[in-house]
Structure 1
Amino acid sequence: MNVRFAERSTLRDVRAYRDQEPSNAEGGSRITFDLSSNELVLPPLPTVLVGIREGLSRLARYPDPTARDLTEEIARHLCVSADELAVGPGSAGVLQQILLARCGKGDEVVYAWPGFDAYPLLVAISGATSVHVPLTGSGGHDLDEIRTRISARTKVVILCSPHNPTGTMIDHGELHSFLHSLPDHVVTVLDEAYVEFDRGSNPPGLPVFLREHSNTVVLRTFSKAYGLAGLRVGYAAGPRQVIATVRKTAIPFGVTRFAEQAAILSLRSEVELRERLAAVAAAREELTAGLRELKLPVLPSRANFVWLPLASATESFARTAATAGVKVRAYPGHGARISVGETEAHRVLLAALGQRFVEAGSEMP
């Protein structure tokens, strides 16, 4: 019996997330170092590892579907109310909840491009249409152009700061001015997945920011600075009426008890986290310096990765890295993103690029 499956129209031109990406090989080369996903190369904080081991005996039980303990811990940490928070399976999972709560067929979501490569898929799942706005020449948001793309159909604007994949920050004054200029029917999602790398473990000012911008939701994650990518936990902070709707779109039991406990312990480990952030920043600057010595066009970064605007040379650059056993993230036609990794990974990559420079002369990369 043949059954015709009617696929949602917004999904026809998108792929499952990274379904075409090779697991360990690129052009026949075996990958030794993966610098493509902005993962932290360090393990979770020592305090967190102890807490996870102690929870193994509770695997047969469902977690709290409201993640109440973590919600209250985040509220204390950020000095906001618990009903201004929604917790979910990573910031991508919470963003999907926001889009499902706000968007449907005929709606539009505006964001800078290139950007986080899950954005197009998550928008398509909600039934809305993506509106891409090119980055500026310096890798930042073109807020004026984003403003011109907003229409009556726009339900959400996504801003990412530090931006993925370029590592640039949105100027605070320009951000406030932009948010004040938006119409009331638009909710802005400020994706701060990498904010700890720029401003420390507990960026200040969130309660004041949310009061001043009542149509803005701030999105954060424990996957990056806290090193919990494998546990999937993130959260959104925003207006009570928006957050209440966002919670309705959550997958039941989407945040495991392990993830909840690990996130709570992470928030209580400020000293350990600050030491880790300092180490990542030092490694980032060393990688940046090494790339600049090779005359490569690397942008200053405020995250745990660096961006090279390579345009048409992007794929060639990625192949050179892969041949040496290092996987980077290529955005064809735009540039390459390199996550901060192990010292040895940086050494191998820079050596391969240096050899390519010797072979190609001024045509590097």
Structure 2
Amino acid sequence: MNVRFAERSTLRAVRAYRDKESSNGEDGTHITFDLSSNELALPPLPTVLGGIEERLPQLARYPDPTARDLTSEVARHLCVSADELAVGPGSAGVLQQLLLALCGKGDEVVYAWPGFDAYPLLVAISGATSVQAPLTASGGHDLDEIRTRVSARTKVVILCSPHNPTGATIDHDELRGFLHSLPDHVVTVLDEAYVEFDRGSDPPGTPGLLREHRNIVVLRTFSKAYGLAGLRVGYAAGPQQVMAAVRKAAIPFGVTRFAEQAAILSLRSEGELMERLAAAAAAREELTAGLRTLGLPVLPSRANFVWLPLAGAAESFTRAAASAGVKVRSYPGHGARISVGETEAHRMLLAALGQKDHGAEF
């Protein structure tokens, strides 16, 4: 029996997030290392692991629906009030809350492309329409081009710094000028999922940026630098009125006790974090040097991944990596992104790419 239902029109053109993706290569090639999701190649901080174990007896209980302790900790970390915060299941979860709270049918969300591949889906779920702007040749945001695409229908502009997938950052002065140029009805989301790799554990300027601009929201996650991708916890900071709406759109009990405790301990473990950030930066530079030695184009990155602007050769490059047992992320027509991973993963990848039969493909 066929059942008819009215699917939201904006969802018809998108697919579920990575629904067709396999843990192995597209042709069945066995994958030994996955360098496609920008996961940290290290476990959570030692202090965090110990704290999680203490929470095991509480599995039968619901978490605090407001994640009050984490909210207070983040407020201290950013020097803002608790009313200016919203927490959720990863920065993607918080972004979905924000889009649901602010957008609907007929509205538009502007962002650079290629970008985080969940953006189109999250916008579609809200009922809004995506408006994409191209990146610059150096992999950065073309803020002038993005500004030209802002209209009366625009509700949200998403900026990502360091940008996923290129690793480029936005200059602070250029950012401030861009924010001043926007109409009052537009909320800008500054997605800083990878900011710790660029500016350390406590990036400067955030409280001032939030005070200076009424319509900016800063988005962060514990999935990347802190190594908590499996626990799903992130947060947003912004104007009280906007954050109140974002909290209303949250799924009940979206941040577990484990995630809340792990995030709190992560913010209190700056010394441990700085050590792994230094290690990640060193590994990124070694990978970049190895790829350039092979004659491959690699853009400078301030995140835990590198970007190769390969245009039409992106898919053949991805297949070459998969043949060596290493999975990387392809952006067809644009390039390929490689997450910083284990030393052995880098070795296997570089060895495979150095073979003449693969090298000739791109």
User: Distance between the aligned counterparts of 1:54 and 1:66, measured in 2?
Assistant: 21
Question: In structure 2, what is the equivalent of residue 167 of structure 1?
Answer: 167
Distance in 2 (CA, whole Å) between partners of 1:312 and 1:234 is 35
Counterparts of 1:343 and 1:220, CA distance in 2: 27
Question: Separation in 2 of the partners of 1:39 and 1:334?
Answer: 22
SS of residue in 1 equivalent to 2:130: strand
Corresponding residue number in structure 1 for 2:143: 143
| 2:357 is the counterpart of 1:359 | yes
Q: Which residue of 1 aligns with 2:248?
A: 248
Residue by residue, what CA displacement relative to the aligned partner does 1:325-353 show, whole Å, maximum 9, x if unpaired? Answer: 00000000000000000000000000000
Instruction: Give the C-alpha shift of residue 360 in structure 1.
Output: 6.0
Q: Report how many residues are paired.
A: 362
Q: Which consecutive segments of 4 or more residues in structure 1 shift more than 6 A?
A: none
| Cα deviation code 1:68-92 (max 9, x no counterpart) | 0000000111111111000000000
Letter in 2 for 1:139: G
Instruction: Determine the C-alpha separation between the residues in 2 that align with 1:94 and 1:62.
Output: 20
The whole-number CA distance in structure 1 between the counterparts of 2:57 and 2:41 is 28
Which AA in structure 1 matches 2:242? V
Aligned partners of 1:2 and 1:216: how far apart in 2? 46
What is the aligned partner in structure 2 of residue 303 from structure 1?
A: 303
Task: Indicate conservation of the 8 Å contact 2:316/2:361, yes or no.
Answer: no
User: How far off is 1:171 after superposition?
Assistant: 1.0
Q: Taking structure 2 as the reference length, what is the TM-score of the superposition? A: 0.99
Does the residue aligned with 2:328 lie in a helix, a strand or coil?
strand
The Cα offsets for residues 212-247 of structure 1, whole Å up to 9 and x where unpaired, read as 111000000000000000000000000011101111
> Where in structure 2 are there 5+ consecutive unaligned residues?
none
Identical columns (%)? 85
**Residue 3 of structure 1: how far off its partner (Å):** 2.3
Deviation at 1:255, TM superposition (A): 0.3
The verdict on how the C-alpha distance between 1:215 and 1:344 changes in structure 2, with shifts beyond 3 A counting, is same
Please tell me whether the aligned partners of residues 320 and 358 of structure 2 are also in contact (alpha carbons under 8 angstroms): no
Q: Write the distance in 2 (CA, Å) between the matches of 1:162 and 1:206.
A: 15
Q: Deviations over 1:151-181 (max 9, x none)?
A: 0000000000000000000111111100000
Q: Distance in 2 between matches of 1:93 and 1:144?
A: 29
Which sections of structure 1, spanning at least 5 residues, go unmatched? none
- The one-letter code sitting in structure 1 at the alignment partner of 2:45 is L
Could you say which residue in structure 1 is the equivalent of 2:155?
A: 155
Letter in 2 for 1:87: V
* Superposed displacement of residue 2, structure 1: 3.6
- Give the TM-score of the pair, scaled to structure 1: 0.98
Amino acid paired to 1:279: A
Indicate the residue corresponding to 1:347 in structure 2: 347
The separation in 2 between residues aligned to 1:279 and 1:2, in whole angstroms, is 56
Q: Given the alignment of the two structures, is residue 57 of structure 1 paired with residue 53 of structure 2, yes or no? A: no
1:133 paired with 2:142, answer: no
Offset, 1:364: 5.3
Q: Which amino acid counterpart does residue 297 of structure 2 have in structure 1?
A: P
Return the alpha-carbon distance in structure 2 between the equivalents of residues 273 and 364 of structure 1: 39
Cross-structure match for 2:217: 217
Map of 1:215-364 to 2, 5 A cutoff? Answer: 215-355=215-355, 358-359=356-357, 363=360
Change (3 A) 1:215 1:293: same
Query: Secondary structure of the residue that 1:124 maps to in structure 2?
Result: helix
- Alignment partner, residue 45 of structure 2: 45
Cα distance in 1 for residues equivalent to 2:307 and 2:181: 30
Query: What SS does structure 1 have at the residue aligned with 2:354?
Result: helix
Cα RMSD after superposing both structures = 0.9
| C-alpha distance in 2 between matches for 1:45 and 1:316 | 37
Deviations 1:89-145 (A, max 9, x none): 000000000000100000000000000000000000000000010111111111101
